[in-house]
């Protein structure tokens, strides 16, 4: 069966990273992989990230990479690095401050199972706009309703495109460009709240 590869950039927020990883490890469907790419964090936080890596050392689905240079471009260079190394059929380039309900992988892989025509899937989310103001958002292909962590793409296609590192909202640009270039495939909309964006 296909797997989803989650690429998680991180810098100096190991507590949020742990929550994100835990939400994926706790999935009801075990067909996932994680690649954490640290954007050259400061020493104290690097040590915490390495303790997280040590905790998961026996799970070969989880990989950690530390970049030698700090890019400070909203996590886009670390995401592109993880994308270049991705090996699974599907990829999600998420963020360390995001997390997933336990049935996310089950719902996403179930929705595309046996559908070779689908190359993009997305869901509804809860968005924390500010001050812990969590708002349900219906997933749509428009700015503010699609987010870096609530859609998955075919890895093969995503590698041809990559994220534009100079644009803060590179996720929305990526979606527009991806759908324009690879529109031969169907979109799969999963009408459930499966993702929380902080």
CATH classification at residue 52: 3.90.550.10
Q: pLDDT confidence of 3, banded at 50, 70, 90?
A: very high
Residue 131 has pLDDT above 90, yes or no: no
Cα-based angle 157, 66, 195 (whole degrees, multiple of 5): 55
- At residue 144, the pLDDT reads 84
- At residue 183, the pLDDT reads 73
Higher pLDDT, 35 or 168: 35
- At residue 184, the pLDDT reads 67
Mean pLDDT, range 100-120, rounded to an integer: 96
How far the first Cα of the chain sits from its last, in Å, is 30
Domains held by the chain: number? 1
Please give the Cα distance from 187 to 39 (Å, whole number).
32
| Per-residue exposure over 124-154, b if at least 16 CB sit within 10 Å of its own CB, e if not | bbbbeeeeeeeeebebeeeeebbbbbbbbbb
Q: pLDDT confidence of 126, banded at 50, 70, 90?
A: very high
Q: pLDDT confidence of 128, banded at 50, 70, 90?
A: confident
Instruction: Return the half-sphere exposure (C-beta side, CA atoms, 13 A cut-off) of residue 17.
Output: 26
Residue 32 has pLDDT above 80, yes or no: yes
Residue 86 has pLDDT above 70, yes or no: yes
Mean pLDDT, range 186-191, rounded to an integer: 93
Note the pLDDT tens digit of each residue in 147-162: 999 999 999 999 999 9
Mean pLDDT, range 26-47, rounded to an integer: 96
Average pLDDT score, the chain = 94
Residue 72's domain comprises 4-197
SS3 letters across the chain:
CCCEEEEEEECCCHHHHHHHHHHHHCCCCCCEEEEEEECCCCHHHHHHHHHHHHHCCCCCCEEEEECCCCCCCCCHHHHHHHHHHCCCCEEEECCCCCEECCCHHHHHHHHHCCCCCEEEEEEEEEEECCCCCEEEECCCCCECCECCCCEEEEHHHHHHHCCCCCCCCHHHHHHHHHHHHCCCCEEEEEEEEEEEEC
CB 192 within 8 A of CB 124: yes
């Amino acid at each position: 069966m296909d797997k989803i590869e989650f690429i998680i950039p991180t810098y100096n927020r190991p507590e949020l990273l742990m929550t994100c990883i835990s939400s994926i490890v706790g999935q009801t469907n075990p067909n996932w992989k994680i690649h954490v790419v640290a954007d050259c964090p400061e020493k104290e936080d690097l040590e915490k990230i390495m303790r997280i890596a040590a905790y998961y050392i026996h799970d070969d689905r989880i990989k950690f990479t530390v970049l030698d240079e700090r890019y400070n471009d909203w996590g886009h260079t670390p995401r592109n690095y993880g994308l270049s190394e991705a090996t699974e059929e599907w990829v999600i380039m998420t963020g360390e401050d995001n997390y997933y309900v336990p049935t996310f992988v089950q719902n996403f892989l179930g929705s595309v199972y046996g559908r070779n025509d689908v190359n993009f899937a997305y869901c509804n989310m809860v968005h924390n706009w500010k001050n812990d103001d969590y708002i349900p958002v219906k997933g749509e292909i428009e700015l503010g309703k699609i987010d870096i962590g609530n859609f998955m793409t075919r890895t093969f296609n995503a590698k041809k495109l990559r994220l534009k590192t100079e644009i803060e909202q590179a996720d929305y640009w990526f979606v527009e460009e991806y759908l324009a270039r690879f529109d031969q495939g169907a979109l799969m909309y999963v009408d459930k709240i499966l993702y929380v964006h902080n």
